[in-house]
């Protein structure tokens, strides 16, 4: 019988593992220079959460301008960074919660609530950035929001999924703790002739 959902003791580390994955994607989003890039050659524009860089078609050096000079740049960076810090705290709390022998399920539900807060902060930062960037920064040629921006959204989607699972996990408290015996359904060949 294979029945390993999130409500079993063996699989309890899946949620902290997913939070760790969200942290890795968040680090890539925070450090990556691929929030906005030129879509095709000549590559004259690239931007991160922190700065916007341009260069001439024949120039090899990037001229960078800090986005922290703009109020929306500080707001986008602050909201995404606050969400990331709370995500790291939630990861540490999840590891602690799943390490102790007797889980505190209200504690687990609280982690789920904090993860919804993380998702809200990250979404705010991820929405402010492209809206205000395209309004205030002059763009040349065809540009696209690229891989690092995508990692920011991927981290947010994983956080939202984990938040739902952390909030719902206490509903399966007995199964996770092993307090109930599994139910097996067997039928004899006389009662189920269609199995022959």
Residues contacting residue 7 through CB under 8 Å, at least 6 positions apart? 169, 172, 175, 176
Give yes or no for residue 103 having a pLDDT over 70. no
> How long, in residues, is the chain?
196
Q: What is the pLDDT of residue 2?
A: 42
Its pTM stands at 0.81
Q: What is the pLDDT of residue 1?
A: 34
Say what percent of the chain tops pLDDT 70.
78
- Helical (H) or strand (E) element with 143: strand 143-145
Reduced to 3 states, what is the DSSP secondary structure of residue 115?
helix
Give the residue-averaged pLDDT of 15-42: 90
Q: How confident is the model at residue 194 (pLDDT cuts 50, 70, 90)?
A: low
Q: How confident is the model at residue 93 (pLDDT cuts 50, 70, 90)?
A: very high
Euclidean distance between CA atoms 139 and 135, whole angstroms:
9
């Amino acid at each position: 019988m294979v029945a390993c959902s999130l409500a079993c003791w063996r699989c309890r580390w899946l949620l902290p593992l997913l939070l760790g994955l969200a942290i890795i994607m968040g680090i890539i989003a925070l450090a990556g220079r691929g929030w906005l890039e030129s879509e095709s050659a000549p590559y004259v524009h690239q931007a991160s959460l922190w700065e916007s860089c341009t260069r001439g078609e024949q120039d090899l050096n990037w001229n960078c301008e800090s986005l922290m000079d703009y109020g929306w740049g500080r707001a986008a960076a602050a909201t995404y960074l606050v969400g990331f810090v709370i995500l790291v705290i939630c990861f540490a709390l999840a590891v602690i919660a799943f390490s102790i022998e007797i889980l505190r399920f209200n504690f687990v539900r609280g982690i789920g609530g904090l993860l919804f807060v993380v998702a809200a902060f990250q979404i705010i930062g991820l929405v402010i950035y492209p809206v205000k960037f395209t309004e205030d920064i002059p763009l040349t040629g065809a540009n696209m929001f690229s891989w690092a921006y995508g990692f920011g959204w991927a981290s947010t989607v994983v956080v939202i999924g984990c938040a739902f699972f952390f909030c719902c996990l206490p509903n399966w408290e007995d199964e996770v703790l092993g307090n109930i015996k599994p139910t097996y359904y067997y039928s004899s060949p006389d009662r189920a002739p269609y199995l022959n």
